[in-house]
Amino acid sequence: MESGRCDFLYLLTPCDASGHVLSDCQNANWGQGVRRATALISDGRQDMLKWGLISQDNDARKYIPRITHKAASGEENPLLQLVKLPKRRDFLHPVLNQVDGNDAHTRVEELAASQCVVDELPASYSVFAVLFPSILHRLTVAILADTLRTTLLAPVAFDATDLPIMIRALTASATDDENYQRLEFLGDCILKFVASTHLMADNIDWPESYLTAKKGAIVSNGFLARASLAAGLDKFVIAKRFTASKWSPRYSGNVLASTEPAAATKIERSSKLIADVVESLIGASYVVGGFDEAFLCIQTLLPLEAWTPIAVSNATLTAAAPEDTASINLRTLETLVGYTFQKKMLLLEALTHASFRGANTHTHSSYERLEFLGDAVLDYIVSRRLYAHDSNLPHNKMHGIRSAMVNASFLAFRMFEMTIVEEATNKSTMLPEVQHRALWQFLRSGSIAVNVQRDVALKQHKQSREEIIAGLQNDIWFPWQLLALTDAPKFLSDIVESVIGAIYVDSYGDFARCEDFIRRLGILDCLERILRDEVDCFHPKERLGVLAVDNTVQYVCVKDDREAGGSKEYSCRVMVGGKEVGGVVKGLKRLNAETMAAWNACMVLSGRRDVIMEDASDGEEFFEAHDGGGVMLDD
């Protein structure tokens, strides 16, 4: 406190149980002095609940009174039962490194009344003064959130009962409080979904590359930060941790001076922090009121873009879908997908490669636009389930699980696995036979290279499928290293997302129909098993960075490894702190090899496998861990 100042923003005065302020006469009994405990007892004031804090002679420690021992007849120096006043001043955060608790501030001690002096101010008010900074912080934060609710976010129609989730959305992770990270995870996918439908509907003739570039611009941290700073959102961000030890009262003179235009100071906030708060508020609005409230929040916080309402986007996209120009029999394909299309051309478009030239094509003859939309739909469906599963599921685990479920290698694997049985006639023998039909067989392509890549990927799938299935069903770690045994081209995972996009458009935005297809693929079953058995989905390279602690992680290229026939493979080893861990690993590409090498190293460092650690050899090419590699994660 500043000496000589009394222009406090708030003044507290004692009151009775009904809330009436005590009279001057009553307050007069509350001096700043002390009295001997024996004198109070002699005066008949033996109700210790009305006493002040107690201290011993020549001892600054304070005690909270409990009860007086009943003295024996003629005893003039009874024992007082007291509890030490804690030094703690922060009552909003748990005490760290205190597993069993400290009973020093809860243990009842007995002191002789003749050795004690008592403060005039009742102890209950002294205890309140200790708690007041924590109470005031909570009140201040609630007022801050309510001001945002009734001003900038008034169009979103948050209710006063929604203040707890708004406070969480405004609280940065640096505070160590319950923060915005889970809500930011949810809001991020909602914003990207809304942006995808808006751009698709608003730019019917744009190719996927234009859509991707524009989407990247309007959901970027820079765009979000600029828009929200212009609106003044940065004033509401709770970025500092409450520390009662440094608390001091605020003075009205200082507050009034800070409101003068010339005295206004700019609070520096990182663009990522502001962008995260925008996304967390979008997530909070979705939790409160679904897509309608989330869309209003996006419109309010990001007014620089003329956002198209989701329902309008859905209707526009469905109306713009090409009409069937001829009778198209897609019964087998629709049975495989589990959805009957009203506009069959959408399904054909979803399975048409850009290289195809032939019948039933139109301006947007490839799957790319639908894949752009399906990617956002899949992200939303997975993210929504993760957020709703368990409020204690941390954001980093949600990120890891989502990365596993929407990863290109995993999607291609599930696509190969989803088949239906069809009776057909063998063209050589003209005899009936049973065939297993999969989505890749319906892909329309005009490129020999595409067909060759598809066939190679199918061969790799057949060689690795049993290991991968076992890993997905039984392992406690998600089998990234097994998926790295395959190298499916991107178009095979793209057609999974394009079919999701086609179903979304044809069904006027029916997520339930999209989820039906995703479940047929086996994605939701895998997700449910991961959540049920608490499978660790961190990528091996991420996990290795944690296990290595402070040691440097390097991926070392071992050159000139070739298989018979001349097909080149990439070989590498992992160096942790200058020592090889896990041995040399060969992969189809650098990404695959480094993923498997990182997994081997994780097995060693976690004690699940014994492998000798060797010093680095000469003549090898080094890559730092942050240079990339591993199975690519989602954006």
Chain segment 40-61, per-residue pLDDT in tens: 888 888 788 889 999 999 888 9
Residue pair 90/137 in contact by the 8 Å Cβ criterion? no
Question: How far apart, in whole angstroms, are the C-alpha atoms of residue 552 and residue 538?
Answer: 19
What band does 253 get if pLDDT is binned at 50, 70 and 90? confident
The conformation of residue 303, written as its DSSP 8-state character, comes to T
Say whether 541-627 and 356-533 share the same fold: no
Residue 416's pLDDT band, with cuts at 50, 70 and 90, is very high
Per residue in 424-452, pLDDT (tens digit) is 777 777 777 778 899 999 999 989 999 99
**Residues 347/335, Cβ–Cβ less than 8 Å:** no
DSSP line for 397-415:
HHHHHHHHHH-HHHHHHHH
At 609 the pLDDT is 65
Question: Which residues, 6 or more positions from 409, have their beta carbon under 8 angstroms from its beta carbon?
Answer: 483, 484, 486, 488, 493, 631
Convert the pLDDT of each residue in 30-40 to its tens digit: 666 888 988 88
Q: Is 476 helix (H, G, I), strand (E, B) or coil?
A: coil
Residue 453 one-letter amino acid: Q
The predicted pLDDT at position 69 comes to 62
CA distance 446 to 358: 9
Q: Which residue has the higher pLDDT, 266 or 111?
A: 111
Enter the CATH code of domain 356-533: 1.10.1520.10
Better-scored residue on pLDDT, 315 or 179: 315
The pLDDT, as a whole number, for residue 534 is: 94
How is the chain split into domains, by residue range? Answer: 24-127, 151-251+267-316, 356-533, 541-627
Distance between CA atoms of residues 404 and 475, nearest Å: 14
What pLDDT shows up at residue 279? 96
Is the pLDDT confidence value at 186 over 90?
yes
- Listed range (42-46, 231-235, 557-561) with the worst mean pLDDT: 557-561
What fold characterizes domain 151-251+267-316?
A: Ribonuclease iii, N-terminal Endonuclease Domain; Chain A (1.10.1520)
Mean pLDDT of the chain: 86
Spell out the alpha helix ranges (H) of 24-175: 24-27, 37-42, 123-150, 163-170
What is the token pair recorded at 98? 């205190």
Output the pLDDT for position 295. 97
Which CATH number is associated with domain 541-627?
Answer: 3.30.160
Q: Are strands 52-56 and 34-36 parallel, antiparallel or unpaired?
A: unpaired
Q: Which pairs with CB-CB distance under 8 Å and at least 24 residues apart come from 339-344?
A: 339/503, 339/506, 339/507, 339/513, 339/516, 339/517, 341/502, 341/503, 341/506, 342/506, 343/318, 343/506
Tens digit of pLDDT for each residue in 458-483?
999 999 999 999 999 999 999 999 99
Q: What is the pLDDT of residue 395?
A: 93
User: What was the pLDDT predicted at 294?
Assistant: 97
CB atoms within 10 A of CB 69: 12
Phi and psi at residue 423, to the nearest 5°: -85, 130
